[in-house]
Amino acid sequence: MKRGLHILMMGIAFTVLAACQTTEGPSVPSVDLARPKVALVLGGGAARGFAHIGVIRALEQEKVPIDLIVGTSVGSLIGAIYAYDANSMELEWTAFMLEKDSLFDYGLITAFTGMGVAKGDKLEEFVKSKVPVANIENLKIPFAAVATDLNRGTSVVLDKGSVARAVRASSAIPGVFNPVEYQGRLLVDGGVIDSIPVSVAREKGADIVIAVDISMNVVNFNITNIVDVMLQSITIMGAVNAKTRKKEADVLISPKVGDVGMMDFTQKKRCMLAGIEATQKMMPEIKAKIEEWGRKRAAQMK
């Protein structure tokens, strides 16, 4: 009896000791607190957006963390695909297969009865085929697409709900695509108001914002039809508002794609290489910003 009681007491003591060892530990910052929250903001620019892929590839190769992606127009398309599985090689492969016909569903009936020359169904279906999760909340990397409320003239941040519908709305170039009815609003391309949405990344808690500007050089003498007119108009509009927005970024990457036409899908490889080159050029500044943040955080914790 005494032996049994002794064994029982030892068992209880061992259990209590194990519990103490499990719950007790040094109070140290988590890995997330040890480095800044880095946001990648991808601007609008139609076919020039292939440069975004090169930027992502270079950041991935240099192991620069991407904790948040915010995109406008083509930036939302590229951003959503990458946010799904965070694999730049897969993203690049997808881009090489992408053609205008994959996104633009032009039609005479749409042009005469709708509010654009293309419906946008193809664009939405393309996103669904490349991002096989329904909602933004299920993406691997937190993501937000920026659109414009056509009725109210305000910027709209889409960070919940359908990935495909958010990208479609953010990319709905006025006059080219039909506006998108979504979440009780009539939405068009985010570039109408905010082509480089740095402020959205800040509002979402980003410590360092890396922004990509592909809006430079709006000169275009090859305007021959109504689609060209609308694309050029949105390009000019985006470039004007980008002048202010991009100054708010910690690091600005500007790939040299200014002479690439907005609908020129033949320059994919060149745009990607331009994105890689521009990012590599800015890499010392990116790493310096991250290190500077680390020093400030260490000083605050002393």
Please give the positions annotated as active site: 73, 189
Question: Contact, 114 vs 85, CB < 8 A?
Answer: no
**H or E, element range at 296:** helix 268-301
SS (H, E, C) 219-279: CCCCCCCHHHHHHHHHHHHHHHHHHHHHHHCCEEECCCCCCCCCCCCCCHHHHHHHHHHHH
Q: What is d(CA 203, CA 104) in angstroms, rounded to the nearest whole number? A: 33
- Residue position matching structure tokens 């985010």: 190
Question: Contact, 80 vs 71, CB < 8 A?
Answer: yes
Q: Report which DSSP code applies to 46.
A: G
One-letter amino acid of 248: E
Q: Report which DSSP code applies to 146.
A: E
| 3-state SS, residue 288 | helix
Question: Contact, 91 vs 66, CB < 8 A?
Answer: no
| 3-state SS, residue 186 | strand
